[in-house]
């Protein structure tokens, strides 16, 4: 038998693990410094093709981590919430003249409202049934955006974005788009970090660990589960707006398919569930993975030639590797890359102290 106080103790310990390894705050500061200097040495390809999408996916992954990693609920609708944010952002900005930052906020709030509706079933169902409910939301949102005339997407599912500006500042270059994305992602990361270290975050983890005990302690299942879905959807909505304003330049419903929801869930698993740093590690790793695979395949081609590797295998090797990584981390290290970094940092600190 466990005591009720064990639930709160476990939740506090789980929250603390995000910043438990030595030098974590210093590492975050160093990373932010590097991020600010990156545009000075990076080409437009790296900014538009790697860094901006990595930041956007990190934000969407962080949002899903709130639901899956911290609250212990499962969702396959993150791409749908991104779609809501993308279309509401571009419509409010281009059609109604809402300022850029206001349009980003509208995108997040609209996605949060949809997330609240999707999160209502979590009060009664969980596991596979909740997964199916969020999966249904993915298809309902996609269908609605394509069929409801107000969105203006029609069957092609695309709405173009006017020139992006904040006041008189026109955001046109890759570096400017990168800094816009970095500023919003950094602000929401700090907010998310403070949130999961607050009473709300401890309540989520208590629900994840022992929901019956959490309810007996007076933790409201309705309030905190719904809040988890709303915060997660808000982050996804902002990420969708950033896709429109800082990356692609248009809202296209084809980009927010079920494959993207699965990919973001994979980022959570690979990076580490219940970890803010893991959200960035997972998103960054998966974003860089196609480049790593391409380089490896080119090297392999030179060694073994075309006769031993079929074109079908080469075309799907990225999906194979992605699936294998998910299985590896689920079986071998459920806390993902964040745990590996934590262990490596601890060992390195131990070696320095004994030297």
Q: Report the interhelical angle of 78-94 vs 100-119 (nearest 10°).
A: 140
User: What 3-state class would DSSP assign to 159?
Assistant: strand
Residue 154 has pLDDT above 60, yes or no: yes
DSSP state of 163: P
> Lowest mean pLDDT: which of 152-166, 185-199, 315-329, 340-354?
340-354
Confidence of residue 315 (pLDDT cuts 50, 70, 90): low
Distance between CA atoms of residues 130 and 123, nearest Å: 10
On the CB side of 324, CA atoms within 13 Å amount to: 7
Largest CA distance in the chain: 68
> What are the start-end ranges of the H helices in the chain?
4-16, 24-41, 44-46, 52-65, 78-94, 100-119, 128-147, 174-196, 199-209, 211-216, 221-243, 258-271, 276-304, 311-331, 336-354
Domains, in order of start, for the chain:
4-257 (1.10.3470)
Confidence of residue 1 (pLDDT cuts 50, 70, 90): very low
Tokens linked to 284 = 């960054």
Average pLDDT of the residues in 18-33: 66
Average pLDDT of the residues in 154-181: 88
Confidence of residue 156 (pLDDT cuts 50, 70, 90): low
Q: Greater confidence, 20 or 254?
A: 254
> Lowest mean pLDDT: which of 8-12, 35-39, 314-318?
8-12
Q: Cβ atoms within 10 A of the Cβ of 74, count?
A: 18
Is residue 192 within 8 A of residue 65, CB to CB? The reply is no
Distance between CA atoms of residues 12 and 125, nearest Å: 26
Residue 6 has pLDDT above 60, yes or no: no
Distance between CA atoms of residues 12 and 144, nearest Å: 41
Average pLDDT of the residues in 182-211: 93
What pLDDT, on the 0 to 100 scale, is given for residue 8?
45
On the CB side of 11, CA atoms within 13 Å amount to: 27
Place of tokens 């206001």: 102
Distance between CA atoms of residues 187 and 182, nearest Å: 8
Q: Cβ atoms within 10 A of the Cβ of 69, count?
A: 29
Confidence of residue 320 (pLDDT cuts 50, 70, 90): confident
Handedness of CA 122, 127, 129, 135 (dihedral sign): positive
User: What 3-state class would DSSP assign to 171?
Assistant: coil
Distance between CA atoms of residues 243 and 123, nearest Å: 31
Residues whose CB is less than 8 angstroms from the CB of residue 247 and which lie 6 or more positions away in sequence, other chains included? 48, 52, 53, 56, 177, 181
Which of 214-218, 232-236, 318-322 has maximum average pLDDT?
A: 232-236
Encode pLDDT of 8-19 as tens digits. Answer: 444 444 444 444
What mean pLDDT is reported for the chain? 86
Distance between CA atoms of residues 348 and 198, nearest Å: 30
What pLDDT, on the 0 to 100 scale, is given for residue 311?
54
Tell me whether residue 291 is exposed, middle or buried, using C-beta atoms within 10 angstroms of its C-beta: 0 to 12, 13 to 18, 19 or more.
exposed
The two beta strands, 250-252 and 165-166, are unpaired
């Amino acid at each position: 038998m466990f005591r009720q106080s064990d639930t709160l103790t476990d939740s506090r310990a789980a929250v603390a693990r995000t910043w438990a390894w030595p030098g974590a705050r210093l590492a975050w500061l160093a990373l932010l410094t590097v991020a600010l200097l990156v545009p000075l040495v990076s080409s437009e390809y790296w900014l538009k093709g790697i860094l901006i999408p990595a930041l956007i996916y990190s934000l969407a992954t962080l949002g899903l981590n709130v639901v899956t990693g911290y609250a212990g609920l499962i969702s396959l609708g993150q791409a749908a919430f991104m779609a809501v944010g993308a279309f509401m952002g571009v419509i409010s900005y281009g059609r109604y003249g809402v300022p850029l930052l206001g349009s980003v906020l509208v995108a997040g709030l609209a996605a949060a409202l949809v997330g609240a509706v999707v999160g209502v079933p979590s009060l009664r169902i969980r596991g596979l049934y909740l997964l199916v409910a969020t999966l249904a939301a993915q298809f309902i949102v996609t269908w609605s955006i394509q069929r409801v005339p107000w969105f203006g997407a029609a069957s092609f599912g695309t709405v173009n974005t006017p020139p992006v500006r904040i006041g008189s500042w026109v955001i046109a270059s890759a570096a400017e788009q990168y800094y816009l994305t970095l500023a919003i992602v950094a602000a929401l990361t700090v907010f998310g970090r403070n949130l999961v270290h607050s009473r709300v975050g401890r309540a989520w983890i208590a629900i994840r660990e022992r929901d019956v005990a959490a309810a007996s302690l007076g933790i409201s299942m309705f309030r905190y589960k719904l809040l988890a879905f709303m915060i997660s959807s808000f982050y996804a909505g902002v990420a969708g707006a950033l896709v429109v304003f800082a990356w692609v330049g248009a809202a296209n419903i084809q980009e927010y398919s079920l494959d993207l929801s699965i990919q973001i869930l994979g980022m959570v698993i690979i990076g580490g569930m219940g970890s803010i740093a893991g959200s960035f590690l997972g998103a960054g790793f998966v974003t860089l993975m196609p480049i790593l695979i391409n380089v490896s395949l080119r090297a392999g081609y030179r060694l073994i030639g075309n006769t031993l590797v079929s074109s079908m295998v080469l075309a799907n090797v990225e999906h194979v590797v992605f699936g294998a990584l998910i299985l590896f981390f689920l079986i071998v290290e459920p806390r993902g890359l964040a745990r590996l970094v934590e262990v490596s940092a601890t060992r390195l600190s131990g070696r320095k102290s004994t030297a």
